[in-house]
Amino acid sequence: MSLNVPTMAELAARGESAEVLFWVGCAGSFDERAKKVTKAVAKLLNQAGVSFAVLGAEESCTGDPARRAGNEFLFQMQALTNIEVLNGYGVQKIVAACPHCFNTLKNEYPELGGSYEVFHHSQFIEQLLRDGRLRVEGGSFKGKRIVFHDPCYLGRVNGEYEAPRALLEKLDAEIHEMKRSKKNGFCCGAGGAQIFKEPEAGTAEVHHVRAEEALATGADVIAVGCPFCKLMLTDGVTHHGKEGQVQVLDIAEAIATANEL
Amino acid sequence: MISSIVFSAVLAAGVAGFTYQVRRLRRGLALARPSGRHDRTSERWATMARVALGQGKMGPRPLAAAMHLIVYVGFVLINVEVLEILLDGVLGTHRLLRAPLGSFYDGLMNFFEVLGFLVIVACVVFLGRRLVAGPERLKHPDLAGWPQRDAVNILVIEIVLMSALLLMNAAEYQHQVASNEQLVTSSPWWISGLLLPLFRGWSTSALSAFATSMWWLHFVGILAFLNYLPRSKHFHIILAFPNVWYSKLAPRGQIPAMNSVTTEIKAMMDPSFVPDPNAVPPARFGAKDVHDLHFANLLNAYSCTECGRCTSECPANQTGKKLSPRRIMMATRDRVDEVLAGGESATQKTLLDDWISREELWACTTCNACVEACPVNIDPLDIILQMRQYLVMEESAAPSTVNVAMGNIENNAAPWAYPQADRGNWIQS
């Protein structure tokens, strides 16, 4: 299936506009593993007939890692620039495929003049399902064991635990929970700019511990909702020698696979 | 008469001591900048009612929650009896409320005795969890030395106070029996009745002296405890309430914007922008010392009872890193105490480096597990982030790899060195 993904600039040039902006994020734009998630989201939006666009070359880091590393100046540079672009296009609705972008757009941009209705992709896709605009075919995951790892910035920080699980329920699979899930979900170790630096000295790596916990459920698939969790847990699964046996998939990838997109 | 005077003098000294301690605490809190958290007051009262009064965040650990509830309810209700103690003490009466309340008084005493007994049981369980077998967080290196002694002191004091009450009641009843007085109550109260065998064969004068001494022990003990509180983690029994009132009500994922930075950037982006002429530039970006933190941060530090739920949920701590959110709070409190004590340390040392290391600050993943875990809405992450702001914005002292990522964001709008123009390339690939 070929993708139909216009940019906001292209639409504006044609005098058109989109119902929703798909915020791709840096990992989703450049990291090979995260790009698969980006494409899965785009395919699902296409399949549901959603009128959407991306910013493309006009998108810029939301500033989340800079702010959490303590660089308020760089964060606000990014935020105020992005807000100018978003407001310039009259954007009202945003769907983000990264909980960090989602959180920053939703909770931190309003204070700086950027107020939008912001969804995480799991929320948006679940809404499409409830509205009957999208169906999940199921089948390919039938009988598989799936465990969901809550991303901190979707779950604990923004209180969304159900949308991703509701989507996974549609896959005809066995859904399992880790000992620490939802509010008590254990971090993958990437947040707060950690993914860009070497960890401090310790006795273990956070992502190894979390991957071990996920593997202990006997899962065939570890489902995630964040590109950074995906990178960290994929590495964790490899560390435990389970690559090739256990997949780490974003919810969007799982749904797109089920729909044979 | 003499005992009334002694009583009043002890009471006055106890209250004066406590007042002095509270003043000291207020001076400590006054070191902070304002928190700006006086908005949305009805929501603040509701949060306080739910989280502090209603123990709303204790649920995830049911055993500790049940035991804590007993001690909490026991402490609050049994202190109703302090009212009678105060009246008796000042007026020189004995059980002033017994006659007017009649059989209701016996019911009340039975209720207090059962609660008191349950408090003792809970405190013994708590001691066991701390000293024999319990969760790791109660034996954590954070607590080495004074903090662990403080915890044991508190539990022992509570056991002593409750025991004094029960022993006094038992001795008093036995005294009535031994002196063949007409019994004021037909049967002993429920728990002290079980202790009567301890007093068989005692003389009436010994029983009377013992009961009086237990009465004094309970009263002086309460005052002593009141004066111990402000120097102890146990001050949470009072501070938890205002602390929850000052909770962060903004979305959990929102780090508040620094307005001075917004002004500067707007001036850069828009030459026609006119900054507020009354705006005062900040003395410092972020926090190097307790003076840079806001009021709620310092109130958090004094409200922390060192339970360690934050640390036991912290991914950094649980993988052996030096960071412990509980220690962030303890260090902040101890640094405020150090500043209050004055002298060379107050001016020569700072919260950063002398109390909290850079290694700890950089180990945080900002996952908010500590924030979620705290039963009284303490926010260690807020302090960590403000200290990171100081490190980055004042000292440019981020780890080199973080500096590379930030350089990339600045130059090509992503933390990695890919050109911004290529952001849409995934569509074709």
Dump pLDDT digits (tens) for B218-267. 999 999 999 999 999 999 999 999 999 999 999 999 999 999 999 999 99
Domain that holds residue B393: 259-274+282-417
- Structure confidence at residue B429 as a pLDDT band (50, 70, 90): confident
Within-domain flag for A3: no
pLDDT of the residue at B182? 62
Contact A80 B253 (CB under 8 A): no
Within-domain flag for B242: no
A-chain CB neighbours of B324 within 8 Å are none
B-chain CB neighbours of A186 within 8 Å are 315, 318, 369
Dump pLDDT digits (tens) for B273-306. 888 888 887 889 999 999 999 999 999 999 999 9
Within-domain flag for B402: yes
Query: Which of B382, B254, B361, B355 has its CA nearest to residue B316?
Result: B361
Contact A69 B322 (CB under 8 A): no
In this model, does residue B184 exceed pLDDT 80? no
B359 reaches A (C-beta below 8 A):
yes
A-chain CB neighbours of B420 within 8 Å are 57, 59-60
Q: Are residues B176 and B267 in the same domain?
A: no
Q: Are residues B113 and B218 in the same domain?
A: yes
A-to-B residue pairs, Cβ atoms closer than 8 angstroms: 216
Neighbours of B128 (CB within 10 A): 12
Region A75-94: mean pLDDT is 98
Q: Are residues A175 and A113 in the same domain?
A: no
Q: What is the CA radius of gyration of chain B?
A: 28
Q: Give the pair of three-digit tokens for residue A111.
A: 């204070």
Within-domain flag for B81: yes
Within-domain flag for B429: no
Contact B363 A200 (CB under 8 A): yes
Within-domain flag for A31: yes
Residue type, B110: N
pLDDT of the residue at B397? 97
Beta bridge partners of A53: A21
Burial (CB count within 10 angstroms: exposed 0-12, middle 13-18, buried 19+), residue B289: buried
Tell me, what's the ipTM? 0.97
> In this structure, what CATH number is given to the domain that contains residue B390?
1.10.1060
Q: Are residues B195 and B298 in the same domain?
A: no
Q: Give the pair of three-digit tokens for residue B414.
A: 């992503």
As a whole number of angstroms, the distance between CA B203 and CA A202 comes to 65
> In this structure, what CATH number is given to the domain that contains residue A114?
3.40.50
Contact B413 A196 (CB under 8 A): no
Q: Are residues A176 and A235 in the same domain?
A: yes
Q: Are residues A123 and A31 in the same domain?
A: yes
- What is the percentage of chain B residues whose pLDDT exceeds 70? 99
As a whole number of angstroms, the distance between CA B313 and CA B370 comes to 6
Q: Are residues B219 and B108 in the same domain?
A: yes
Dump pLDDT digits (tens) for A129-155. 999 999 998 778 999 999 999 999 999
Q: How many domains are contained in chain B?
A: 2
Burial (CB count within 10 angstroms: exposed 0-12, middle 13-18, buried 19+), residue B261: buried
Average pLDDT for chain B: 94
Q: Are residues B21 and B118 in the same domain?
A: yes
pLDDT of the residue at A155? 98
Within-domain flag for A24: yes
pLDDT of the residue at B277? 83
Q: SS3 sequence, B347-383?
A: HHCCHHHHHECHHHHHCCCCCCHHHHHCCCCCCHHHH
Q: Are residues A110 and A147 in the same domain?
A: no
Within-domain flag for A226: yes
Q: Are residues B117 and B201 in the same domain?
A: yes
Q: Are residues A85 and A174 in the same domain?
A: no
Q: Are residues A156 and A90 in the same domain?
A: no
A24 reaches B (C-beta below 8 A):
yes
Domain that holds residue A112: 8-129
Q: Are residues B171 and B227 in the same domain?
A: yes
Dump pLDDT digits (tens) for B136-146. 999 999 999 99
Within-domain flag for A144: yes
Q: Are residues A124 and A141 in the same domain?
A: no
As a whole number of angstroms, the distance between CA B297 and CA B192 comes to 45
Q: Are residues B318 and B386 in the same domain?
A: yes
As a whole number of angstroms, the distance between CA B322 and CA B316 comes to 8
Region A174-198: mean pLDDT is 96
A34 reaches B (C-beta below 8 A):
no
For residue A91, the number of C-alpha atoms closer than 13 Å in the C-beta half-sphere is: 31
DSSP-based three-state secondary structure for B254: coil
Dump pLDDT digits (tens) for A216-247. 999 999 999 999 999 999 999 999 999 999 99
Q: Are residues A150 and A246 in the same domain?
A: yes
Of A129, A144, A170, which closes a domain? A129
B427 reaches A (C-beta below 8 A):
yes
Dump pLDDT digits (tens) for A165-182. 999 999 999 999 999 999
A-chain CB neighbours of B269 within 8 Å are 80-81, 84
Contact A74 B285 (CB under 8 A): no
Alpha helical stretches, state H, B179-322? 204-228, 236-245, 259-269, 295-303, 309-313, 315-318
Region B268-276: mean pLDDT is 86
Q: Are residues A209 and A252 in the same domain?
A: yes
Q: Give the pair of three-digit tokens for residue B123.
A: 């405190």
As a whole number of angstroms, the distance between CA A94 and CA A124 comes to 9
Nearest CA in chain B to A5: B427
CA angle (A251 as vertex; A250, A253 as ends), nearest 5: 65
Beta strands in chain A (DSSP E): 20-23, 52-53, 93-96, 117-120, 145-148, 174-176, 221-224, 247-250
Contact B322 A200 (CB under 8 A): yes
- Structure confidence at residue B82 as a pLDDT band (50, 70, 90): confident
Within-domain flag for B48: no
Q: Are residues B328 and B383 in the same domain?
A: yes
pLDDT of the residue at B279? 80
Q: Which of B366, B372, B416 sits opposite A192 (nearest CB)?
A: B366
Residue type, B412: N
Q: Are residues A18 and A93 in the same domain?
A: yes
Q: Are residues B194 and B313 in the same domain?
A: no
Within-domain flag for A244: yes
> Length of chain A in residues, anyone?
261
pLDDT of the residue at A185? 97
Contact B257 A112 (CB under 8 A): yes
Of A82, A113, A129, which closes a domain? A129
A187, B128, B298, B387 from B375: Cα distances, Å: 20, 22, 17, 24
Region B120-124: mean pLDDT is 97
Of A79, A96, A129, which closes a domain? A129
Within-domain flag for A1: no
Region A62-79: mean pLDDT is 98
Q: Are residues B215 and B131 in the same domain?
A: yes
Q: Are residues A72 and A17 in the same domain?
A: yes
Residue in the block written with tokens 């039938």: A142
Q: Lowest mean pLDDT: which of B95-99, B143-147, B350-354?
A: B95-99
Within-domain flag for B293: yes
Q: Are residues B153 and B188 in the same domain?
A: yes
Q: Is the dihedral of CA B324, B326, B330, B335 positive or negative?
A: positive
Q: How many domains are contained in chain A?
A: 2
Within-domain flag for B46: no
Cβ pair A78, A62 in contact under 8 A: yes
Q: Say what angle helices B62-78 and B103-131 make with each other, to 10 degrees.
A: 140
Burial (CB count within 10 angstroms: exposed 0-12, middle 13-18, buried 19+), residue A202: middle
In this model, does residue A254 exceed pLDDT 80? yes
Region B312-336: mean pLDDT is 98
Region B406-410: mean pLDDT is 98
Contact A61 B429 (CB under 8 A): no
B316 reaches A (C-beta below 8 A):
yes
Within-domain flag for B50: no
In this model, does residue B79 exceed pLDDT 90? no
Q: Are residues A118 and A170 in the same domain?
A: no
